[in-house]
């Protein structure tokens, strides 16, 4: 690793060690936490937030689709979509943090089908139902995560898919490890829960899930639990005309 990369890591780690500020509303706390690390956000999170590319693959994003990401951060999912992004009818990237959205806007330059929107994931709705909606390591940072899930499900077309990748408390996790991870992440405003995955499944039970663990940068030997989820909204029931 170069001296510049080590310096960038040190700045991110210092921010994380300081934790998320406790003053101001949710949007103000996000901005205060992320603004000083926005320029180095992508490089560090590449080693921290696993499974994001796989989630995009599992969503099977294709030609003509309308796609929404809630809690998009810097919009790096556009890079993971690659050429698939150009095939979409529209991609709407939604987040509450202006510092990260500024980077998402730079990334979206030249993509005529991409819109970057400053809004709350628990309330914002697209103008028409969408084919895909996903949250990548955002649910754990949204205080009213139940509202965010209900909002995401509510914007799906029949047959549409909701994807989530995030850290969590696995049902099989020991009490000590679960308590450690809960406290470690909460310092930075990331609230792990054992209820996220069951709630997703209760909304859209026709789903693929996988629970895993990943090493974290600078925490050798420790593996944080995360999951992937892709749920499908039921197709609209076909109306059957009955001959009389
Ligand atoms: C850990 S970052 C993940 C960003 C991006 N999805 C990624 O994979 O790199 C969590 C994101 O959720 C956003 N966020 C938190 N609460 C939000 C809310 N209520 N509405 C919209 N975005 C929110 C934060 O601003 C932040 O960009």
The more confidently predicted of residues 197 and 223 is 197
Task: Answer yes or no: is the C-beta of 135 below 6 A from any ligand 1 atom.
Answer: no
Strand order in the sheet with 114-118: 114-118, 90-95, 66-70, 130-136, 156-167, 219-232, 207-216
- Indicate which residue's Cα is closest to atom 8 of ligand 1: 136
Q: Does the structure show a pLDDT above 70 at 16?
A: no
Cα gap 149→210, rounded to integer Å: 18
Residue 14: per-residue pLDDT: 55
For residues 120-136, average pLDDT: 98
For 57-73, what is each residue's pLDDT tens digit?
Answer: 999 999 999 999 999 99
Which pLDDT score is estimated for 41? 79
**Closest ligand 1 atom, residue 190 Cα:** 1
* Higher-scoring residue by pLDDT: 178, 57: 57
What percentage of the chain reaches a pLDDT higher than 70? 86
**Which pLDDT belongs to residue 12?**
52
Note the pLDDT of residue 2: 66
Mean pLDDT throughout 25-33? 93
Pocket test for ligand 1, best of 102, 138, 191 (most atoms within 8 A of CB): 138
pLDDT at residue 160 tops 90: yes
Q: Residue 71: its pLDDT value, please?
A: 98
The CB of 76 under 6 Å from ligand 1? The reply is: yes
Tell which one of 53, 73, 189 to mutate to probe ligand 1, the residue whose CB is within 8 A of the most ligand atoms: 73
Instruction: For the chain, give every domain's residue range.
Output: 45-232
H or E element in which residue 149 lies? helix 145-154
Residue 162 burial (10 A CB sphere; 0-12, 13-18, 19+): buried
3-state secondary structure 14-42: HHHHHCCCCCCCHHHHHHHHHHHHHHHHH
Q: Which atom of ligand 1 is nearest to the CA of 73?
A: 27
Q: Which CATH architecture has domain 45-232?
A: 3-Layer(aba) Sandwich (3.40)
Residue range 171-178: mean pLDDT, rounded: 74
Q: Report the phi/psi class of residue 47: left, alpha or beta, with left for phi > 0 and alpha for psi in -120 to 50.
A: alpha
CB 161 within 8 A of CB 241: no
- And the tokens for 33? 């936490």
Length of the chain, in residues: 244
Per-residue tokens: 60: 């099977």
Mean pLDDT value across residues 136-165: 98
pLDDT of residue 244 exceeding 80? no
Instruction: Supply 185's token pair.
Output: 């992440």
Banded pLDDT at 156 (limits 50, 70, 90): very high
pLDDT of residue 228: 98
């Amino acid at each position: 690793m170069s001296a510049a990369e080590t310096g960038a890591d040190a700045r991110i780690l210092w921010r994380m060690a300081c934790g998320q500020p406790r003053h101001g509303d949710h949007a103000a706390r996000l901005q205060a936490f992320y603004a000083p690390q926005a320029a180095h956000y992508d490089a560090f999170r590449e080693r921290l937030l696993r499974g994001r590319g796989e989630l995009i693959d599992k969503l099977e994003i294709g030609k003509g689709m309308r796609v929404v990401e809630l809690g998009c951060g810097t919009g790096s999912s556009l890079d993971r979509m690659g050429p698939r992004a150009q095939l979409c009818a529209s991609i709407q990237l939604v987040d509450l943090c202006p510092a990260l959205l500024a980077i998402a806007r730079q990334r979206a330059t030249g993509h005529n089908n991409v819109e970057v929107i400053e809004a709350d994931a628990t309330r914002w709705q697209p103008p028409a139902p969408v084919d895909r909606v996903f949250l990548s390591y955002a649910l754990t940072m949204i205080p009213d995560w139940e509202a965010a899930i209900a909002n995401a499900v509510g914007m799906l077309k029949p047959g549409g898919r909701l994807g989530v990748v995030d850290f969590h408390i696995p049902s099989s996790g020991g009490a000590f490890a679960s308590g450690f991870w809960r406290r470690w992440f909460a310092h930075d405003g990331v609230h792990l829960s054992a209820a996220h995955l069951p709630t997703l499944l209760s909304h859209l039970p026709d789903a693929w899930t996988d629970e895993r663990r990943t090493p974290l940068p600078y925490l050798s030997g420790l593996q944080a639990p995360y999951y992937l989820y892709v749920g499908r909204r039921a197709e609209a029931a076909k109306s059957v005309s009955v001959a009389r």
